């Protein structure tokens, strides 16, 4: 048995797709458990769809996810070059070899003729397809046309009868009638290879033993199998992964789900979270664990466990998985990863003092319990940074619920019991012996305040929260105390007293 070799072969035609990472993950795991190699090839034969910079973002995002390749355009390898645009001369030679072997033929049909053919087929209710018009040209006819400068393509001679069978490990035999498969173009008029030709030639020359790719390529596979046959090469094993789907079961698409890997990175998902989530798409670990690392996934991988039922790409689930990984991550590491997000939100500056960094660590420790992304942590942390607030007022765009809670706040701000309690709280903080207030201690201060004031939280917490944060609802008070400590709590109270000329 030859060494297992797998690959992904993305086309640099826009933002790197989440499906590319998905397929890469399964290829990597498969080659890992088989002691094989995994390589990255760039399929950039379609120059019309080529997007500058896209190749680099493929490298960057896959590297971010630690979906590493052992050979590729950026690092070379024994089977290079790994960029199809650097292999162009090869494809023409292979196409011409097939013509010599009478497995392929020159086709001089003009676009005009092909269009008319298609229209005719359509009007008769037939499937469009090439009619084999040039398949039987004589050698002389061909030579004359070429010397007259007529443009040509090279097409593969598909057998007119019989079937082509894909023996897909996950799907069983998929059978295609040969007479329904077009004489596919291998080499285009401009001398460029088609996807089919370049893909097959490269997979063969690069020693690929297993082609693990998305379900959407199934219609291409019989063409590839016929091409391998024409070349007299052994075809690799084909394994088609399920398509990732939107919740309505349609193929995952930009309109319904973000599909760019860049989006996931910028949104503050952890690489561990996204990988774990992708590893759950149509797959479950043999030990049933839902939260796992890339290594755990690779170590226990079994391709036969892939189920093809169209896994739903559910961002709610991703959020949950990512939250689990945020909790598992080393706290300092998570804090460091979150810094750009806090910075982008304007909550921290370019540099952080030790004290600021320590506060950030505390914020992250707290926030990772309830937030699903790094970005969400930053977006919901404003209240820990600023020390000067105003009491909220009713404004036009507020809904009924918001208006009701502000009205209640305004009533409570005048309530004697509430004011007394805030006063007691203020005294307790003033007399508190330490700068740091742990969550437990914070809870105790609050409970003692209520007992001493002889009232319940319903009256006190809302106005107290407004004093400390400017908001009637939101974060728990003991969390505020834990993050900002004694001095800043006193500062916030003092700021309110000054601003509103009130007394607590
Ligand atoms: N270039 C194709 C793509 O963009 C490769 C498909 C395959 O794996 O054969 O995904």
The residue that leads in pLDDT, 203 or 249, is 203
Q: Are residues 225 and 250 in the same domain?
A: no
Q: Which of 97, 144, 254, 289 is catalytic?
A: 254
In a domain, 319, yes or no: no
Could you tell me if the CB of 217 is within 6 A of ligand 1? yes
CATH number for the domain harbouring residue 358? 1.10.8.70
In a domain, 33, yes or no: yes
Q: Which residue has the tokens 């305040």?
A: 449
Q: What is the mean pLDDT of the chain?
A: 95
Ligand 1 atom 10: the closest Cα is on which residue?
10
Q: Are residues 272 and 342 in the same domain?
A: no
* pLDDT surpasses 90 at 267: yes
Least confident interval from 60-69, 196-205, 269-278, 390-399? 390-399
Helix or strand (DSSP H, E) at 122: helix 111-123
Could you tell me if the CB of 213 is within 6 A of ligand 1? yes
In a domain, 49, yes or no: yes
Q: Are residues 93 and 202 in the same domain?
A: yes
Q: Are residues 92 and 225 in the same domain?
A: yes
**Ligand 1, closest atom to CA 11?**
4
Return the SS3 of 230: helix
In a domain, 310, yes or no: no
Q: Are residues 194 and 157 in the same domain?
A: yes
Q: Are residues 344 and 448 in the same domain?
A: no
Give the structural domain span for 194.
85-241
Q: Which of 121, 100, 124, 98 is nearest to 184 (CA)?
A: 98
Could you tell me if the CB of 324 is within 6 A of ligand 1? no
Q: Last residue of some domain: 384, 414, 446?
A: 384
In a domain, 177, yes or no: yes
Q: pLDDT, tens digit, for every residue of 2-53?
A: 899 999 999 998 889 999 999 999 999 999 999 999 999 999 988 777 777 8
pLDDT bucket at 387, cuts 50 / 70 / 90:
very high
**What does pTM read for this prediction?**
0.92
Q: Are residues 128 and 65 in the same domain?
A: no
* Average pLDDT score over residue span 74-78: 96
Helix H segments across 49-87? 54-64
How far is it, in rounded angstroms, from Cα 273 to Cα 267? 12
* Average pLDDT score over residue span 237-259: 88
Distance 455 CA to ligand 1 centre (A): 68
Distance 88 CA to ligand 1 centre (A): 17
- Give, for ligand 1, the residue of 8, 62, 82, 208 to mutate: max count of ligand atoms closer than 8 Å to Cβ: 8
Cα→Cα distances 286→114, 273, 296, 325, 377, Å: 52, 19, 11, 20, 33
pLDDT for the residue numbered 502: 85
Q: pLDDT, tens digit, for every residue of 436-470?
A: 999 999 999 999 999 999 999 999 999 999 999 99
Ligand 1 atom 5: the closest Cα is on which residue?
9
Concerning whether 254 is annotated as a catalytic residue, the answer is: yes
Q: Which of 411, 428, 396, 400 is nearest to 466 (CA)?
A: 411
How many domains in the chain? 4
The alpha carbon dihedral of 492, 494, 496, 499 has a sign of negative
Q: Which residue has the tokens 């007479």?
A: 179
Distance 40 CA to ligand 1 centre (A): 11
Distance 297 CA to ligand 1 centre (A): 24
CB 185 within 8 A of CB 154: yes
Ligand 1 atom 3: the closest Cα is on which residue?
10
Q: Last residue of some domain: 189, 219, 241?
A: 241
Burial class (CB in 10 A: 0-12, 13-18, 19+), 480: buried
In a domain, 411, yes or no: yes
pLDDT for the residue numbered 145: 96
**Ligand 1, closest atom to CA 211?**
8
How far is it, in rounded angstroms, from Cα 338 to Cα 313? 25
Q: Are residues 208 and 130 in the same domain?
A: yes
Q: Which residue has the tokens 């407004």?
A: 466
Q: pLDDT, tens digit, for every residue of 282-338?
A: 999 999 999 999 999 999 999 999 999 889 999 999 999 999 999 999 999 999 999
Could you tell me if the CB of 39 is within 6 A of ligand 1? no
Distance 216 CA to ligand 1 centre (A): 10
* Average pLDDT score over residue span 144-168: 96
How far is it, in rounded angstroms, from Cα 418 to Cα 463? 7
CATH number for the domain harbouring residue 173? 3.40.50.620
Q: Are residues 17 and 46 in the same domain?
A: yes
How far is it, in rounded angstroms, from Cα 307 to Cα 328? 28
**Ligand 1, closest atom to CA 20?**
10
Q: Are residues 51 and 179 in the same domain?
A: no
Q: pLDDT, tens digit, for every residue of 388-415?
A: 999 999 988 889 999 999 999 999 999 9
- Give, for ligand 1, the residue of 217, 236, 241 to mutate: max count of ligand atoms closer than 8 Å to Cβ: 217
pLDDT for the residue numbered 1: 66
- Give per-residue burial for 311-330: e unless 16+ CB within 10 Å, then b: bebbbeebbebbbbbbeebe
In a domain, 77, yes or no: yes
Distance 56 CA to ligand 1 centre (A): 17
pLDDT bucket at 249, cuts 50 / 70 / 90:
confident
**Ligand 1, closest atom to CA 203?**
9
Burial class (CB in 10 A: 0-12, 13-18, 19+), 396: exposed
Return the SS3 of 223: helix
In a domain, 320, yes or no: no
Q: What percent of the chain has pLDDT over 90?
A: 89
Q: Are residues 175 and 40 in the same domain?
A: no
Tell whether omega for the bond before 140 is within 30 degrees of 0, i.e. cis.
Answer: no
CB 418 within 8 A of CB 412: yes
- Give per-residue burial for 410-447: e unless 16+ CB within 10 Å, then b: bebbeeeebbbbbebbbeebeebeeeebeeeebbebbe
Least confident interval from 61-65, 143-147, 253-257, 266-270? 253-257
Could you tell me if the CB of 442 is within 6 A of ligand 1? no
CB 216 within 8 A of CB 189: no
Q: Are residues 134 and 229 in the same domain?
A: yes
**Ligand 1, closest atom to CA 13?**
4
Per residue, the 3-state secondary structure of 129-165, as one string, reads CCCCCCCCCCHHHHHHHHHCCCCCEEEECCCCCCEEE
CATH number for the domain harbouring residue 453? 1.10.10.350
């Amino acid at each position: 048995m030859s060494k297992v070799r797998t690959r992904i072969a993305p086309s640099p035609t826009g933002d790197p797709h989440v499906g590319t990472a998905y397929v890469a993950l399964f290829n990597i795991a498969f080659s890992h458990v088989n002691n094989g190699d995994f390589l990255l090839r760039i399929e950039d034969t379609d120059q019309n769809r080529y997007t500058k910079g896209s190749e680099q973002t493929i490298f960057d995002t896959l590297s971010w996810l630690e979906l590493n390749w052992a050979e590729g355009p950026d690092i070379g390898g024994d089977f290079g070059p790994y960029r199809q645009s650097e292999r162009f001369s090869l494809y023409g030679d292979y196409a011409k070899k097939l013509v010599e072997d009478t497995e392929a033929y020159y086709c001089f049909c003009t676009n005009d003729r092909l269009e008319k053919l298609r229209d005719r087929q359509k009007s008769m209710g037939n499937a469009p397809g090439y009619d084999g018009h040039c398949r039987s040209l004589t050698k002389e006819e061909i030579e004359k046309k070429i010397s007259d400068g007529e443009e040509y393509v090279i097409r593969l001679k598909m057998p007119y009868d019989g079937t082509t069978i894909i023996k897909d490990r996950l799907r069983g035999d998929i059978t295609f009638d040969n007479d329904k498969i077009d004489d596919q173009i291998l080499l285009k008029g401009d001398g460029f290879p088609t996807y089919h030709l370049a893909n097959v030639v490269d997979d063969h020359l690069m020693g690929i033993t297993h082609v693990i790719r998305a379900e959407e390529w199934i219609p291409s596979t019989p063409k590839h199998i016929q091409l391998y046959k024409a070349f007299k090469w052994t075809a690799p094993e084909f394994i088609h992964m399920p398509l990732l789907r939107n919740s309505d079961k349609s193929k995952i698409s930009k309109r319904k789900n973000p599909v760019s890997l860049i989006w996931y990175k910028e949104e503050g998902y952890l690489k561990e979270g996204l990988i774990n989530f992708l590893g759950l798409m149509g797959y479950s670990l043999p030990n049933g664990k839902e939260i796992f690392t890339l290594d755990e996934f690779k170590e226990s991988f079994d391709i036969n466990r892939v189920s093809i039922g169209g896994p739903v790409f559910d961002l709610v689930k991703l959020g949950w998985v990512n939250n689990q990984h945020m909790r598992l991550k080393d706290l300092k590491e998570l804090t460091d990863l979150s810094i750009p997000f806090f910075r982008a939100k304007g909550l921290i500056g370019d540099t952080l003092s030790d004290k600021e960094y320590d506060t950030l660590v505390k914020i992250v420790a707290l926030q990772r319990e309830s937030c699903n992304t790094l970005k969400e942590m930053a977006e919901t942390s404003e209240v820990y940074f600023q020390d000067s607030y105003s009491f909220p007022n009713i404004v036009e765009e507020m809904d009924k619920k918001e208006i009701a809670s502000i009205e209640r706040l305004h009533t409570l701000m005048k309530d004697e019991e509430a004011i007394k309690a805030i006063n007691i709280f203020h005294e307790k903080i003033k007399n508190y012996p330490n700068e740091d207030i742990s969550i437990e201690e914070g809870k105790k201060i609050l409970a003692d305040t209520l007992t001493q004031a002889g009232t319940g939280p319903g009256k006190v917490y809302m106005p107290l929260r407004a004093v400390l944060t400017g908001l009637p609802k939101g974060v728990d008070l003991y969390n505020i105390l834990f993050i900002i400590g004694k001095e800043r709590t006193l500062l916030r109270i003092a700021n309110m007293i000054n601003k509103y000329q009130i007394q607590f």
